Structure 1
Amino acid sequence: MTMAMYLHPLSSYSQKAKTAFYEKGVDFETRMLDGSEPIASAFAALWPIGKFPLLTDGDKMVFEATSIIEYVDNLYPETSRLIPEDQAKAAEVRMWDRFFDNYINYPQQRMVYVAIGREADDGEDCAKWKAAFEAAFGVLDHRLKGREWVAGDTFSLADCAAAPSLLYADWTHPIPKSYKEVWTYRDRLLARPSYARALDEARPYRHMFPLGAPVGRD
């Protein structure tokens, strides 16, 4: 039975999970969460929390993008490993996965929520979230010196997290050009076939990005 993933292509966490499947060459069925029935009702019944992506594999259910990637990586160990078998190296990959989710995706989402009125501004044009971005970009720029990928020598779970995080971060608060390593890394991620495929599948929905998708910045 083919695994099925409830998702929306524009979602950064959906893109993160899809990139892992494409990287490993593992098939899945897309269950599009665009509000249409009966998919919407099925998803609500399965997962009342309502956050996606959500993976089903027979009678098994896996929620959260990181857990989904861990699951498929363990299920198909013969394909490109996204989490190293060496436990010390695996811990490093997981650490940088959390970096992108917590220190780049989180402020990015806060700024979007402020823009659409779901959260209150801090009265200073989201100054604290912009400062959080700048701190994270600085750490990442230093980390990437002399590196192709953010953790280890091969594309990993951490890079699956990085690709959509840096895409939407730049759309929300443009990454300063002074962070040359971050820009080179972002370009490398956008060119990776697995993420490029996920990004192409999101293009028909770019108009839905609340802040407006910038022209010429993929």
Structure 2
Amino acid sequence: MAETKELVLLNCWASPYGMRCRIALAEKRVEYEHKDENLMEKSPLLLQSNPVHKKIPVLVHGGKPVCESLVIVQYVDEAWPDRAPLLPADAYGRAQARFWADFVDKKIFECGTKLWMLKKEAQGEAKKEFTEGLKLLEGELGEKKYFGGDTFGFVDVALVPLMAWFRTYESFGSFSAETEAPKLVAWGKRCMERESVAMSLPDPGKVYEFVCFMRKMFGLGSAMAETNGLMLLNFWPSPHGMRCRVALAEKGLKYVYREEESIMECKSRLLVKSDPVRMRVPVLLHDGKPVCESLIIVQYLDEVWPDRAPLLPADPYGRAKARYWADFIDKEIFECGLKLWKLEGEKQDEARDQFLRALKILEGELGEKKYFGGDTFGFVDVTLVPVVAWYRTYELFGSFRTEMHAPRLMAWGKRCLERESVAMSSLPDPHKVHQFVRFLRNKKPGLQPF
């Protein structure tokens, strides 16, 4: 193997995309350092090297990162052109090879992911597309030894990780690759005879076990079947996440709860994928489809399960009023509350005055009613009740007592805490919330945690 200065591959052992890079490097007989990434807690090097997608594989050559597996394989081929060329010498041949490699990405590996990510009833279309993709590839392979003829090349490198994943796709998709694409299976066996491939592909059984673990972690296994297909991505001190938990409890809905380390920069892959715009909790996954923003989540739950403890009023005007006050709470209570512990001096004083004015306005809206909707616990109550867990923090940083400024709201909060849905929804200990906020101020003063 040739010695290469500062060549590092950031990878996850089960990634078919990373396998491509390992095969290409093995074909070129280039030495490199392999760093296996924990995808739940991504390394600073990975986040720095691929700040856009934050995904593996990444090849770092002399400190310069190259991202995306097909780009990496082409880079390796161009950086070491005199060793086992992977792309054809002529421009048209290279264009054809790139076309089929792109086809493999979109029709094989993306469809393959759907086979194990989707439920049985939703797999039919993915399986059809996947097997059709196999047949098209068989047509392109024809009677050749490899896709490039007698020479193992770019398209072979792009596709051959399939051999480590066939068992997983077959198991979840309920089909036989041997039956659907016998020529491709034979091609795969020929590829496995190559040292570069044999040393780079993991045991298919271990890949299958890994996928089963991932399904369980993502709530795609039997647990999800018992929980209405619901998963909540949350971070325990988030008042916005507390709303969702209260709403789910009011509806009597079981769900998979997944705690996100939101104050860390390495957010989970599932959170980033589910909310690629803001990458914040909470996110509700329903049958794999993400719903973001807490007020939208609560309304979604109310619309999907309207017959269980309705949260919004039945009439349009009542719903409009409830949404108005929920928006008021977001902007005048929780946004101002954030300023109380993040700001200092005159700006903090301004935030405190705005916060206390908002409490008095809410007291006026509550009046003598039991809840904001009257005798019925509803949407506005769900929106505001997390403030009970945050009062201590707001009071200590803002130097005031809520009891003195808004006694009716304090009494309302105590009534809410008597509800099973609120008590069981893990409104955290106010002291722990305060400790968490002190940690944030000291360690990560500029961070937006929720």
- TM-score where L is the length of structure 2: 0.42
Over aligned residue pairs, what C-alpha RMSD do you find? Answer: 2.4
Aligned equivalents of 1:130, 1:69: Cα separation in 2: 28
Change (3 A) 1:156 1:67: same
Q: CA deviation at 1:7?
A: 0.3
**Residue 215 of structure 1 aligns with which residue?**
none
* Greater Rg by CA: 2
Answer yes or no: is the 8 Å Cα contact 2:389–2:433 preserved in 1: no
Q: Which string of whole-angstrom CA distances, capped at 9 and with x for unpartnered residues, describes residues 128-186 of structure 1? A: 11001110111122222211111343111110111112431443123142522112112
Q: Quick one: percent identity of the two aligned structures? A: 22
How far is 1:111 from its partner? 2.0
In the alignment, which of 371, 382, 387 is matched to residue 165 of structure 1? 387
> Structure 1 residue 58 and structure 2 residue 280: aligned?
no
1:109-132 CA distance string (max 9 Å, x none): 122333xxxxxx3x3261111001
Equivalent of 2:272 in 41, 44, 47 = 44
CA contact (8 A) 2:360 2:405 kept: no
Aligned letter for 2:415?
A: R
- Secondary structure, aligned partner of 2:250: helix
Q: Which whole-Å CA distance do the structure 2 matches of 1:131 and 1:43 have between them?
A: 36
In structure 1, C-alpha distance between the alignment counterparts of 2:267 and 2:256, rounded to whole Å = 12
Amino acid of the residue matched to residue 282 of structure 2?
A: P
| Consecutive unaligned residues in structure 1, runs of 5 or more | 115-120, 213-218
Q: Counterpart of 1:9? A: 236
The structure, 1 or 2, with the larger RCO (C-alpha pairs under 8 Å, 6+ apart) is 1
In 1: Cα distance, 2:364 partner to 2:392 partner: 18
Q: Distance in 2 between matches of 1:141 and 1:25?
A: 29
1:68 aligns with 2:297: yes
How far apart in 1 are the matches of 2:285 and 2:370?
Answer: 33
Cα separation, 2, equivalents of 1:170 and 1:93: 26
Aligned length in residues: 203
Q: Which segments of 5 or more consecutive residues in structure 2 lack a partner in the other structure? A: 1-224, 396-400, 440-450
* 2:365 paired residue number: 143
SS in 2 for 1:50: coil
1:118 alignment partner in structure 2? none
Does the CA contact (< 8 Å) of 1:19 and 1:194 recur in 2? Answer: yes
Q: How many angstroms apart in 2 are the aligned matches of 1:60 and 1:110?
A: 33
Q: Structure 1 residues 138, 6: closer, same or farther in 2, change over 3 A? A: same
How many angstroms does 1:26 deviate by? 0.9
Matched, 1:134 2:356: yes
Task: Give, in whole Å, the separation in 1 of the partners of 2:373 and 2:324.
Answer: 9
Cross-structure match for 1:81? 310
Residue 99 (structure 1) shift: 2.0
CA pair 40-208 structure 1, distance change in 2 beyond 3 A: farther
User: In the TM superposition, what are the counterparts of 1:182-197 in structure 2 within 5 Å?
Assistant: 182-197=409-424
1:99 pairs with 305, 318, 328, which one?
328
